[in-house]
Amino acid sequence: MKKAKIYKPSKTAMQSGLKKFDKWIIEFITDDPGTNPLMGWESSTDTYGELKLEFSTKELAIEYAKKNNIDFEIIEPNKRKITLKSYADNFTK
């Protein structure tokens, strides 16, 4: 049975906008990868590890996983903590 994780990607430290982070992703968890004896690179015989499926909502991703008999784990996104600041706060304290 295939195992996957469903998550919403977070932005990197190099990005300030949130435009492309509204999709949910199903990413398959690969079996224990091995080392290629010829080149010494990490490799795996499980090709599901190369797939990342995008969905517009979490419910669609869950529905897809259930319909295709995929064991899944949902990783909820962390909420952003926004601290409102004002220029006047520099002078009032």
Q: What is the pLDDT of residue 1?
A: 63
Q: How buried is residue 55: exposed, middle or buried, by Cβ count under 10 Å (0-12/13-18/19+)?
A: middle
CA 43 to CA 85: how far, in whole Å? Answer: 49
Domain span at residue 8? 3-92
Q: What is the pLDDT of residue 9?
A: 87
CA 92 to CA 80: how far, in whole Å? Answer: 27
CA 24 to CA 52: how far, in whole Å? Answer: 10
25: domain CATH number?
3.30.160
Q: What is the pLDDT of residue 44?
A: 77
How many domains are there within the chain?
A: 1
Nearest residue to 66 (alpha-carbon basis) of 30, 29, 32, 26 = 26
Can you give the pLDDT of all 93 residues of the chain as single tens digits?
689 999 998 877 776 776 767 899 999 988 777 888 888 888 777 788 888 999 999 999 999 999 999 999 999 988 878 888 888 888 886
